[in-house]
């Protein structure tokens, strides 16, 4: 079945450092790919998405490119802020026998220090 | 804030009991999905309801059941609670059934003792 693997955290960075969180996926078809962010005590918020190969999703300085050849969707940001501290989830969506469903990775906690 | 509200926010039950969790979807949304998020893990899909009918189900046993009402609000029922059911239960709503426009609530934290 479909699966998503992302790097384990926590990732600890200083403010203004460059961020990369790796994400790879396994899917039978052509999924849409997502990054969600979860702040403490809150639900998940969609950060960005890409629906086909070579698409780049971007939002709030974060970017990720849908790489079909490497089945990857790595999250990057050029200069992180303390307010970016959260848990980040990579996910895919593929319509299958279970209907529309999101398959999530295990999450990566990011901690940004001033 | 997404407009998806869940109640209660926290709940403590004992093994073998039954629990009902509630979700009010965002205005105009006719599709509701439920996810279970165990501590330190990613959310796992339980099931989805579209216009009051189940529209897909993940790998969860039948003791996990749901309902969607005419106003598109939803309930998640879990019977015969087990310790491993302790988790954050997330509800998400959308207007088309497509995950591209999914809005999550803040969740119900269930503890089973």
Q: A30-67 pLDDT, tens per residue?
A: 899 999 999 988 889 999 999 889 999 999 999 999 99
Give, in order, the Cα–Cα distances in Å from A56 to each of A16, A34, A65, A113, B89.
22, 11, 4, 28, 31
The reply to whether A64 touches chain B by the CB within 8 Å rule is no
Task: Report which secondary-structure segment, H or E, holds B46.
Answer: strand B44-50
Over range B43-72, report the average pLDDT.
92
Judged by CB atoms closer than 8 Å, whether chains meet at B55 and A99 is answered as yes
Q: Is the pLDDT of residue B2 over 80?
A: no
Using a CB-CB cut-off of 8 Å, the residues of chain B touching A89 are 42-43
Strands A86-93, A108-113: pairing kind: antiparallel
pLDDT in tens, B3-18: 899 999 999 999 999 9
Whole-number Å distance between alpha carbons of A24 and A22: 7
The reply to whether A104 touches chain B by the CB within 8 Å rule is yes
Judged by CB atoms closer than 8 Å, whether chains meet at A102 and B105 is answered as no
pLDDT at A49: 93
pLDDT at A8: 87
pLDDT at A95: 67
Q: Give chain B's contact residues with A (Cβ, < 8 Å).
A: 2, 4, 31, 33, 35, 40-45, 48, 55-58, 90, 92, 97-100, 102, 104-107
Three-class DSSP category at B39: coil
Whole-number Å distance between alpha carbons of A41 and B16: 27
Minimal-distance CA residue of chain B relative to A94: B99
pLDDT at B28: 81
Using a CB-CB cut-off of 8 Å, the residues of chain B touching A44 are 43, 90, 92, 104
A92: CB partners within 8 A, 6+ apart: A2, A4, A25, A27, A31, A32, A33, A34, A102, A103
Confidence class for position B98, pLDDT limits 50, 70, 90: low
Widest pairwise Cα distance in chain A: 47
% of chain A surpassing 90 pLDDT: 78
Using a CB-CB cut-off of 8 Å, the residues of chain A touching B100 are 32, 49, 51, 93
pLDDT at A43: 85
* Number of other CB atoms surrounding residue A9 within 10 Å: 16
Nearest chain A CA: its distance from B81 CA (Å): 23
């Amino acid at each position: 079945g479909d699966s998503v693997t992302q790097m384990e955290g926590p990732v600890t960075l200083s403010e203004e450092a460059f961020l990369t969180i790796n994400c790879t996926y396994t899917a039978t078809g052509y999924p849409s790919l997502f990054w969600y962010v979860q702040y403490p005590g809150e639900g998940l918020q969609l950060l960005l998405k890409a629906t086909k190969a070579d698409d780049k999703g971007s939002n709030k300085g974060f970017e990720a490119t849908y790489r079909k050849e490497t089945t990857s969707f790595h999250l990057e940001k050029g200069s992180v802020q303390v307010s970016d501290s959260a848990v980040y989830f990579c996910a895919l969506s593929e319509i299958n026998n279970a209907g529309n469903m999101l398959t999530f990775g295990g999450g990566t906690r990011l901690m940004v220090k001033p | 804030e997404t407009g998806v509200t869940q109640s209660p926010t926290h709940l403590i039950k004992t093994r073998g009991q039954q629990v009902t969790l509630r979700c009010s979807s965002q205005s105009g949304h006719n599709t509701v999905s439920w996810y279970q998020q165990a501590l330190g893990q990613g959310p796992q899909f339980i099931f989805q309801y579209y216009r009051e009918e189940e529209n897909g189900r993940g790998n969860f046993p039948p003791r996990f059941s749901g309902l969607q009402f005419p106003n598109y609000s939803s309930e998640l029922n879990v019977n015969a609670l087990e310790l491993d059911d302790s988790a954050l239960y997330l509800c998400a709503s959308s207007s088309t059934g497509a995950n591209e426009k999914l809005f999550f609530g803040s969740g119900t934290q269930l503890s089973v003792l």
